[in-house]
Amino acid sequence: MVSAHILGHLGEEGWQADDLKRLWLHQANKTMNDFIGKKVLGREPEAGEQPNILQDYANTSSSRVDHRLLTELSGPRTGRPGVICSFGAGYSVGSVLVQRA
pLDDT tens digit sequence for 44-91: 998 778 777 665 555 555 545 554 554 454 554 556 788 888 777 667
Stated pTM of the model: 0.73
In this structure, are residues 76 and 99 in contact, taking their beta carbons and an 8 Å threshold?
Answer: yes
C-alpha–C-alpha distance, residues 28 and 21, integer Å: 22
| Residues paired with residue 84 on neighbouring β-strands, in sequence order | 24, 96
Q: Which fold has domain 2-99?
A: Peroxisomal Thiolase; Chain A, domain 1 (3.40.47)
Residue 25's SS3 state is strand
Q: From 58, 54, 63, select the one nearest 86 (Cα to Cα).
A: 63
Mean pLDDT (the chain) is 77
